[in-house]
Structure 1
Amino acid sequence: MNAPAARPVRPRRSVLAVPGSNPRFLEKAQGLDVDAVFLDLEDACAPSAKPGARHTVVKFLNEGDWGRKTRVVRVNDWSTEWTYRDVVTVVEGAGEHVDCLLLPKVRDAGQIGALDLLLSQIERAMGLPVGGIGIEAQIEDATGLVNVDAIAAASPRVETVVFGPADFMASLNMRSLVVGEQPPGYPADAYHYVLMRILMAARSNGVQAIDGPYLQIRNAEGFREVAGRSAALGFDGKWVLHPDQVAAANEVYSPAQEDYDHAELILDAYAYHTSEAGGARGAAMLGDEMIDEASRKMALVVAGKGRAAGLRRTTSFEPPRA
């Protein structure tokens, strides 16, 4: 299926989870250096607090200063009695300040289609641009993973596919109580297949892949190790649960300065050598390295992430002297 082309690309190296029922956390979150926030009406809200949390979220979306952060609201999943009212209250009350809705525990494409339809009805009723609010799909069990390709392709609104490790581990009867850590007794990476499966579905549909939370918020090295695995595969970012995790996420999911500089040099060198002035060659040398069209594509990925992270070049390309 062709990748949808209409949705904006909003970087999400660090995605901060904020309880929708806690005004103090909602206030503090506005000043943190994260790319995105999601105001949570699901797991972070007790059942009795959910109705009031909807109105708290609307208030902070309308009155808060979120800067350039991507503003997301996690609604409850479709198996509950709360979902439709979450969507109606939030979008009718603050739709112009909502970038995406995050749908948890997605199990099939029909659940994305249902949210898409409801959003379209509310957008029309409220005079909002139809299709303007994106969808983030969270994969949290085996059925969702089996159907992840169809889920990622279910609507042009889909912007990200998110891994939810805690519920996923429980759904598999995985023998671990530490969310995000490897289960004891298994000598390899228990999450490699899951992460690659989500990544393939995301990339084949032109959307971002986001890793889920690491709950040991005081374990900085553990967070870096877990984040480093998904970043190495190509994931775009990770959820953060505490301010102490923010800087690490922004660093891990951004290129190192050396890699960013090298990527920009490859792009400049390839552009020069394929031009008439450079000899119109399809392959050329950059120092001791041969570069070609495949090199350019790889460099575009690294350079794009570096630019989005605000990195500045420390080197420049000099055409070889004749």
Structure 2
Amino acid sequence: MPGSNARAIAKARTLPADAVVLDLEDAVAPEAKAEARAAIAAAMHEGGFGSRYRVVRTNALATEWGADDLASLAGVPIDAILVPKVDSASDVTALAKAMRDAGIAADVALWVMIETPLAVLNLAEIAASARQTPLAGFVLGLNDLAKDTGIAQLPGRAAFQPVLTQAVIAARAHGMIVLDGVCNSIEDEARFIAECEQARDGGFDGKTLIHPKQIDSANRVFSPGDAEVNEAQTIVAAFADPANAGKGALRIDGKMVELLHLYQAEKCLARADAARGRAIDAQVVESRG
């Protein structure tokens, strides 16, 4: 949501999304950035975002606005800062220092956009910097990457598949979340759903969205279905059975199930709980009119 758009910020409090990103970068004109900073700070202090993860996307630190963006977030109750145009691990280190110098709370996470050719080449090193910095997430920026490389964003995104996979592997190697890039085809629901399914099956935690009308489809794709939930519950219950205490592998419904499958089952049930939470939030908002 553009940080300069009061209606959009108000709308963000009602959307059945897991996270809301208030933008100070591309969505805000240079002459409106100061006003947007103040509006975002005021909105975050006002609250009302419920369980939604609160993220602010700043301008890159190297721009004329980056330092002021960070300074405006000192003492502001947010969960993460998303920074674009990060090329290397040294950029992440510089951002971590800038966040500290700006007085941003130590528990605010750092997310970075993976959207430049150098960032792709340096994925492993960037991810490894999470060991010494607040870095906690990757967000793919395929629009900028397409612009800089000439790779076409065609349906299916076959040419980008190596980048998508490497980003997931690098993030997982260091315990980070990773979100797929946006789909620009707002009116092409079939293409959007296909991208969501590709991202889900490719290991992404979710997909970044550019319009509220994309939320319901994304939630359906990334939320586990009834059959998946039932299977996960069966696996969790089997390992919890005292008769199976200490066992590392069980035969369940004709399948060999190991502890790694228990871990996957627990993650599935956590996603199902999150989906139910979104639905409850949406019902509460609707009941309030």
Fold similarity call, TM over 0.5:
yes
| CA distance 1:27–1:294, shift in 2 (3 Å) | closer
Shift of 1:193: 0.7
Letter in 2 for 1:48: E
- Once the two structures are superposed, residues 133-161 of structure 1 have per-residue CA deviations (whole angstroms, 9 ceiling, x without a partner) of 11011100111011112212224411211
Going from structure 1 to structure 2, the CA distance change for 1:175 and 1:294 (only over 3 Å counts) comes to closer
Residues 258 and 170 (structure 1), Cα distance of their counterparts in 2 relative to 1, 3 Å cut: same
Q: Hey, what does 1:133 align to over in structure 2?
A: 108
What are the ranges of 5 or more consecutive residues in structure 1 without an aligned counterpart?
Answer: 1-17, 184-188, 312-322
Alpha-carbon offset, residue 280 of structure 1 = 5.4
Q: Which residue is equivalent to 1:83? A: 66
Which residue in the other structure is 2:5 paired with?
A: 22
Query: How far apart are the structure 2 equivalents of 1:217 and 1:119?
Result: 34
* Residues 27-76 of structure 1 deviation map (CA, whole Å, 9 limit, x = unaligned): 11111111111110101011222222111211211224111111111001
RCO higher in structure (CA 8 A, sep ≥6): 1
Distance 1:279 1:103 in 2: 46
Match of 1:245 in 2: 214
Give the structure with the higher percent helix.
2
Instruction: For structure 2, list consecutive stretches of 5 or more residues without a partner in the other structure.
Output: 278-289
Q: How many residues align?
A: 275
TM-score, structure 2 normalization:
0.88
2:20–2:53: 8 Å Cα contact kept in structure 1? Answer: yes
CA deviations 1:143-189 (Å, max 9, x no partner) are 1011112212224411211100100111111245x7xx457xxxxx1
Backbone CA RMSD of aligned residues = 1.9
Runs of at least 4 residues off by over 6 Å: none
What is the aligned counterpart of 2:126 among 138, 151, 164?
151
| Corresponding residue number in structure 2 for 1:119 | 99
8 Å CA contact 2:59–2:84 kept in 1: the answer is yes
| Percent of residue pairs identical | 32
Residue correspondence of structure 1 range 8-19 to structure 2 within 5 A:
18-19=1-2
From the CA coordinates, give the structure whose radius of gyration is larger.
Answer: 1
Matched residue, 2:146? 169
Structure 2 residue 267 is the aligned partner of structure 1 residue 292: no
TM-score (norm 1): 0.80
Pick aligned residue for 1:105 from 62, 85, 89? 85
Q: Which residue is equivalent to 2:227?
A: 258
Give the structure 2 partner of residue 43 of structure 1.
26
